[in-house]
Chains A and B, each alone.
Chain A
Amino acid sequence: MTDTATLAQKPLAPGLNRDDARSAAREVRKRRLQAFLFVTPLLIFILFSFVAPITTMLYRSVYNPTVADLLPDTLVALQEWEQSDESPSDAVLTQFAIDLKRLANDRTSGRLADEINRALPGMSSVVKSTARAVRRVDDAELAANGPALLIDANDRWAEPETWRAIKDAGRAYSLDYYLTSLDLERGSAGEIQARDTQIYVKLYTKTLWMALIITVATVLLGYPLAYFMANTSTSLSNALMVFVLLPFWTSLLVRTTAWIALLQTNGVVNSTLQAFGLRDDPLELLYTQFSTIIAMTHILLPFMVLPLYSVMRGIDSSYMRAAMSMGSRPLAAWFRIYLPMSLPGLSAGALLVFIISVGYYITPALVGGTDGQMISNIIAFHMQQSNNWELAAALGALLLLLILVLYWLFDRFVGAANIKLG
């Protein structure tokens, strides 16, 4: 409608009347609608299968209502308690004892134990044993004598630290999981401090470092290959292309297991070395960072070669010849002329390999051991083993943020326009 409205005000070229303009605008609208219809199925699919799950996952990293749902009354009572060195008032403890009894009878006290344990390790057994203790006490007795009963069951209920943990865990919205992801925690006065155990920052750094090594390795292996393929006869380059694509035809799992067969203690590499007398004792190759890097370099190499090849094939040999005819040595000509011209393919390949390897899961899981684990493995661990989806979501969100920042840096210094996949 706005189209026709603006059209009506615009001065028209001679010979073009309002009806002509309107019918031209209708034509444009129709074409736009058609274009939109073409992508609608994919749009809907992506919305339901990708955008929605990712959004809920990210939401989960800041929103955890479990404790708030389990202990609504206790948390209301706790609101008045200043986070000081003193325990909260008896009213709070009484309310908690009543809540805990209800949970114990509902058989949901276990969930509460898990949640509080996450905020303050060691609390799981405390909550569970106390729940058992208050389960059979009648309501009047609890209302009168709640605090004493709690402290009798376990004296940690007298410590302010415990209540701080409950109050923290009770916040439905919190950034605590992001703090944990960065190896930080809230101190007793609510200040942010480093945690005793440093895990995640080190893991992020290691992941980035390994991705960088893998990217550099694929460049070193892929660039000369792509150059050769782009400058040789079509039949030979087609044959080589089959070999480049061959890895895509076999399952990722098979390729990774092949590396296990190669690298394990009694594997192909070690037995060959020993057979030739080059080593007496087998090398520790598998379950190391080295094995992760070498296997991932192999798996990700096509992602480097393909964009490089397609860009290089478009670079005519006359550019290098022109540079040399002007007196430039081959290496200098390559650096000043060929490299900048192949940069779109190089950056596309490097970005592709780097981003894929930063989030890679299966290969480090299979051949990485403890040393070669990457950030996605710890995310998987929190999803599957420790059941801490909130932390997994926070770690994943940070990973996403990290990649976006790297992409932004790349765009800043190389230019996203310099990416070309074909």
Chain B
Amino acid sequence: MTDIKSDVFLKFDDVKKSYDQKTLVVKGFNIDVQQGEFITLLGPSGSGKTTVLMMLAGFESVTSGVIAIEGKSINKTAPYLRNIGMVFQNYALFPHMTVAQNLAYPLTVRNMSKADIKARVAEYLALVELEDFGSRFPAQLSGGQRQRVALARAMIFEPTLILMDEPLGALDKNLREQMQYEITRLHKKLGFTVIYVTHDQAEALSMSSRIAVFNDGIVQQCAAPAELYERPSNAFVADFIGENNFIKGQVERISDGLAHVTVPGGATVIAQTSDGLVVGASCQVSVRPEKLFIHPTTHAHDNEMTARFISRIYVGDFIRYYFRLPDGTDIVIKMLNDLSAPEFSDGQDGKLLWLTSDCIAFPAAT
């Protein structure tokens, strides 16, 4: 693996993992990571993302393929020689050591002098804003504080790569948002590379430079958050990232990168195409709930179809409308809670409107 471009910091080359010699948990994982990137591995549980992280950390062996850092394979390197920082879901703070001792641990292992260790520990305690907590034990800290200590401990020996295994999973919503900001701040400030595992898409979207969406041991799409949300490359990603409506239909023709699709009720809508779409085959058109509008509207639109109103749920800042298509598919529409939010009576028909650029036609799931 000496022929890797110099700007690729971390490379996974067709990495596979099998635990039971029968099935693959990770089926050929490829990714090139630049120095300083924040890569998130996102996927439902059991999709293989944690296994990838454990192989990178060295706690699981690689069945086949190569993991390389700066062009050198680390497949055979012992975990303690990899110099990779790691934040665990349960933080794994050593309960019998104080916060300062926890932070000092990787430094004592590296035989740093006592004075240097003390200075470095103070520096990193300040970095995570826990200056006065050095003499406390982990059990005496709150969840958010423990998270900060775990973060500081993973960074203190200045690894170039830090792995985070669902580090915010145990925190409540407010704290989680605060820590997302904290992690992003530290990442920007110190410039280390992060491989972050989560099943929380909001977390992934708000923090990452790129997200690799995992399903069934395969990366479905690896792209920047906005692209992932706006241009999902397949139905799984479209469904998994954010909320989506899928309208079943038949592809009539494809021209200029646009698919003309006949939808239930007989109307024809025009949608962006995706890979694997075939004329005459059935497909599903995905439209995000917030991109759909109900007639009458001032928003631009070029697709429309009729559906029956079912219910309307008041959420607060927005209102969710539920409509049902003639084939029984439920459609969700999210509308801002303003004066234009219409009222419907049960069973009334409504006209749904949206833009061609906001919908994608995917091949129907087999």
- Chain A residues close to B by CB (< 8 Å): 316, 318-319, 321-330, 332-333, 336-337, 340-341
A318 touches B105 (CB 8 A): no
What distance in Å separates the Cβ of A337 from its nearest Cβ neighbour in chain B?
6
Residues on A with C-beta less than 8 A from B157 are: 326-327
- Chain B residues close to A by CB (< 8 Å): 57-59, 79-86, 88-90, 92, 94-96, 105-106, 109-110, 153-154, 157, 163
Residues on A with C-beta less than 8 A from B82 are: 325
Q: A321-B59, A322-B86 are in contact. Are A327 and B80 (CB under 8 A)?
A: yes
Q: A327-B157, A328-B109 are in contact. Are A316 and B92 (CB under 8 A)?
A: yes
Nearest residue (CB) in A for B83 is A327
Residues on B with C-beta less than 8 A from A341 are: 94-96
A319 CA / B82 CA spacing, docked (Å): 17
B109 touches A327 (CB 8 A): yes
A328 CA / B110 CA spacing, docked (Å): 8
Q: A326-B105, A327-B106 are in contact. Are A318 and B80 (CB under 8 A)?
A: no
A318 CA / B90 CA spacing, docked (Å): 8
A-B contact count, CB below 8 Å?
A: 63
A326 touches B109 (CB 8 A): yes
A332 CA / B105 CA spacing, docked (Å): 11
Nearest residue (CB) in B for A418 is B96
A337 CA / B92 CA spacing, docked (Å): 11
Q: Out of B86, B95, B105, which one reaches A321, CB within 8 Å?
A: B86
B96 touches A322 (CB 8 A): no
A316 touches B105 (CB 8 A): no
Nearest residue (CB) in A for B150 is A322
A325 touches B90 (CB 8 A): no
Residues on A with C-beta less than 8 A from B94 are: 319, 322-323, 337, 340-341
Nearest residue (CB) in B for A320 is B92
What distance in Å separates the Cβ of B164 from its nearest Cβ neighbour in chain A?
12
B86 touches A327 (CB 8 A): no
Residues on B with C-beta less than 8 A from A321 are: 57, 59, 79, 86, 88, 92
B80 touches A328 (CB 8 A): yes
What distance in Å separates the Cβ of A363 from its nearest Cβ neighbour in chain B?
36
A341 CA / B96 CA spacing, docked (Å): 7
Nearest residue (CB) in B for A325 is B86
Q: A340-B96, A341-B96 are in contact. Are A325 and B79 (CB under 8 A)?
A: yes
Q: Out of B81, B92, B105, which one reaches A336, CB within 8 Å?
A: B105
Query: Can you add 13 more A-B contacts, CB < 8 Å, to A324-B80, A325-B86?
Result: A316-B90, A318-B88, A322-B86, A325-B79, A325-B85, A325-B163, A326-B157, A327-B81, A327-B157, A328-B105, A332-B109, A333-B80, A340-B94
A325 touches B110 (CB 8 A): no
What distance in Å separates the Cβ of B41 from its nearest Cβ neighbour in chain A?
17
Residues on B with C-beta less than 8 A from A330 are: 80
A332 CA / B84 CA spacing, docked (Å): 18
A316 CA / B79 CA spacing, docked (Å): 18
Residues on B with C-beta less than 8 A from A327 are: 80-81, 83, 106, 109-110, 157
What distance in Å separates the Cβ of A172 from its nearest Cβ neighbour in chain B?
54
A322 touches B110 (CB 8 A): no
Residues on B with C-beta less than 8 A from A340 are: 94, 96
Supply 30 A–B pairs (Cβ within 8 Å), ascending by A.
A316-B92, A318-B89, A321-B86, A321-B88, A322-B88, A322-B94, A322-B153, A324-B58, A324-B80, A325-B79, A325-B82, A325-B84, A325-B85, A325-B163, A326-B80, A326-B85, A326-B106, A326-B153, A326-B157, A327-B80, A327-B83, A327-B106, A327-B109, A327-B110, A332-B109, A336-B105, A340-B94, A340-B96, A341-B95, A341-B96
A330 CA / B95 CA spacing, docked (Å): 18
Nearest residue (CB) in B for A319 is B92
Residues on A with C-beta less than 8 A from B81 are: 327
What distance in Å separates the Cβ of A115 from its nearest Cβ neighbour in chain B?
58
Residues on B with C-beta less than 8 A from A333 are: 80
A322 CA / B80 CA spacing, docked (Å): 10
What distance in Å separates the Cβ of A317 from its nearest Cβ neighbour in chain B?
8
A110 CA / B243 CA spacing, docked (Å): 101
A-B pairs with lowest CB-CB distance, top 4? A326-B106, A322-B92, A325-B86, A318-B92
Residues on A with C-beta less than 8 A from B106 are: 326-328
Residues on A with C-beta less than 8 A from B58 are: 324
A303 CA / B84 CA spacing, docked (Å): 40
What distance in Å separates the Cβ of A118 from its nearest Cβ neighbour in chain B?
54
Nearest residue (CB) in B for A316 is B90
A330 CA / B58 CA spacing, docked (Å): 13
A319 CA / B154 CA spacing, docked (Å): 13
Nearest residue (CB) in A for B59 is A321
What distance in Å separates the Cβ of B194 from its nearest Cβ neighbour in chain A?
14
What distance in Å separates the Cβ of A402 from its nearest Cβ neighbour in chain B?
30
Residues on B with C-beta less than 8 A from A318 are: 88-90, 92
A337 CA / B82 CA spacing, docked (Å): 20
What distance in Å separates the Cβ of A10 from its nearest Cβ neighbour in chain B?
31
Residues on B with C-beta less than 8 A from A323 are: 94, 105
Nearest residue (CB) in A for B95 is A341
Nearest residue (CB) in B for A327 is B109
Which among A321, A324, A326, A336 has the greatest number of chain B C-beta atoms within 10 A?
Answer: A326
A319 CA / B90 CA spacing, docked (Å): 9
Q: Out of B57, B89, B95, B96, which one reaches A325, CB within 8 Å?
A: B57
A316 CA / B90 CA spacing, docked (Å): 9
